[in-house]
């Protein structure tokens, strides 16, 4: 290995004592490839296994915690005990290759397609449609909110029973937890809505429930992470200033990591913060080493990753690049970083072990992946 990349391959110990072999993580990406009943397919297991041999940790695509939280066609579920054998198959496929396996759990809220949820009824914090959507969600009652909090706990227990090393609570990308934090989607006047602090109530309750389930059921250290999006374009919407306050609170929750959702690692704050600074820089300053931050966003080459890790961010997630080149980590380790592919070869679906539904989504979405026009 070229010595200059050694920082990418230092081991890292999470707050709960679990050691990751290196600083590189597979980012969660929806793959549209599960069975209609929410169980994982062999194609999915093979896809994850193919990418689990070099990274320190794999975070799966999101699993819905209740039937009315299913956000994607071909998404797998964690909403009933019937799903445990399926989840176990996925956890085993990842762990057999040497990576830690983390199940991302979520509820899609107002972003769920009506045809995927019972009775076509979309729910959210308030009856405010997403921008560019014609579907108005129904506001959840307090008791329904409590039920969803419990469902996150139940999904965590299932992840433990299935052999996962942890869960990531998905509070990013406009889904239900973010909908409760956002002033755009949360217009409630009960204890789950109101000012900035009150809009944190639901995500903090989910974290508390997940942690209590881990304490009750996990016999070994178990990772609990939280993913968030730093800003929303809507007005009113989440600003960078809002997120820095939220992250300050999240840093005190005893989590094992925070995971920012970004398309570009180097993107700068849009509003309500120092817009000359990158979001990563502002987040790191606020977190102040209280909890590890996972950085992410358009990192393709070994030098991209080196530049990112040199900012001081302790962990780095790769998404699209690990689809383009599943041997990314191994190539750097073996001194073959010049052989890394950074554009997708659209003739190599089989060699890259990418399920057909995901492959079709990629090749029919120009600009999403380098090399797909």
19 forms beta bridges with 13
3-state secondary structure of 331: helix
Beta strands in 251-328 (DSSP E): 257-260, 293-296, 315-318
- Give the burial class of 311: count Cβ atoms within 10 A of its Cβ; 0-12 exposed, 13-18 middle, 19 or more buried: middle
Beta strands in the chain (DSSP E): 12-13, 19-20, 24-26, 57-64, 100-106, 123-124, 138-139, 166-171, 223-228, 257-260, 293-296, 315-318
What is the distance between the alpha carbons of residues 318 and 328, in angstroms, rounded to a whole number?
10
228 forms beta bridges with 171, 260
Alpha-carbon 308 to chain mean position: 19
What is the three-state SS of 231-243?
CCCCCCCCCHHHH
Positions annotated as catalytic residues are 175
Residue whose pair of structure tokens reads 């070229």 in the numeric block: 2
Pairing of the two strands 12-13 and 19-20: antiparallel
In 3-state terms the chain splits into helix, strand, coil percentages (rounded to 5) of: 40, 15, 45
Other beta carbons within 10 angstroms of residue 55's beta carbon come to 29
Other beta carbons within 10 angstroms of residue 147's beta carbon come to 12
Q: Is 195 left (phi over 0), alpha (psi -120 to 50) or beta?
A: beta
């Amino acid at each position: 290995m070229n010595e200059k990349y050694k920082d990418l391959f230092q081991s890292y110990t999470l707050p709960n004592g679990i050691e990751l072999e290196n600083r590189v993580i597979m980012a969660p990406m929806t793959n549209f490839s599960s069975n209609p009943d929410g169980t994982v397919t062999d194609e999915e297991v093979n896809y994850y296994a193919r990418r689990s041999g070099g990274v320190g940790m794999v975070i799966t695509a999101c699993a819905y915690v209740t039937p009315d939280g299913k956000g994607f066609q071909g998404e797998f579920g964690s909403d009933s005990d019937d799903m445990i054998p399926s989840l176990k198959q996925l956890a085993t496929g990842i762990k057999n290759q040497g990576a830690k396996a983390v199940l991302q759990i979520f509820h899609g809220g107002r972003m769920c397609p009506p045809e995927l949820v019972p009775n076509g009824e979309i729910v959210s914090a308030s009856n405010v449609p997403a921008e560019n959507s014609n579907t108005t969600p129904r506001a959840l009652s307090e008791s329904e909110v409590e039920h969803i909090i419990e469902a996150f706990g139940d999904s965590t227990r299932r992840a433990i029973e299935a052999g996962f090393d942890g869960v990531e609570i998905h509070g990013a990308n406009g889904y239900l937890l973010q909908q409760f934090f956002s002033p755009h989607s949360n217009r409630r006047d009960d204890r789950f809505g109101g000012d900035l602090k009150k809009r944190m109530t639901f995500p903090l309750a989910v974290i508390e429930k997940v942690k209590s389930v881990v304490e009750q059921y996990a016999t070994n250290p178990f990772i609990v992470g939280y993913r968030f999006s730093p800003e929303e374009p809507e007005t009113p919407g989440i600003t960078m200033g809002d997120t820095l306050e939220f992250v300050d609170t999240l840093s005190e929750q005893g989590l094992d990591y925070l995971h920012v959702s970004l398309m570009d690692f180097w993107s700068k704050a849009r509003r309500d913060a120092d817009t000359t600074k990158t979001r990563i820089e502002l987040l790191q300053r606020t977190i102040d080493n209280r909890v590890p931050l996972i950085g992410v966003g358009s990192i393709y080459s070994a030098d991209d990753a080196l530049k990112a890790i040199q900012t001081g961010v302790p962990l780095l997630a790769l998404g699209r690049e690990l689809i383009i080149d599943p041997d990314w980590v191994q190539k750097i380790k073996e001194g073959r970083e010049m052989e890394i592919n950074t554009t997708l070869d659209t003739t190599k679906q089989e060699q890259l072990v990418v399920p057909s539904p995901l492959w079709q989504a990629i090749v029919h979405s120009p600009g999403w992946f380098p090399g797909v026009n």
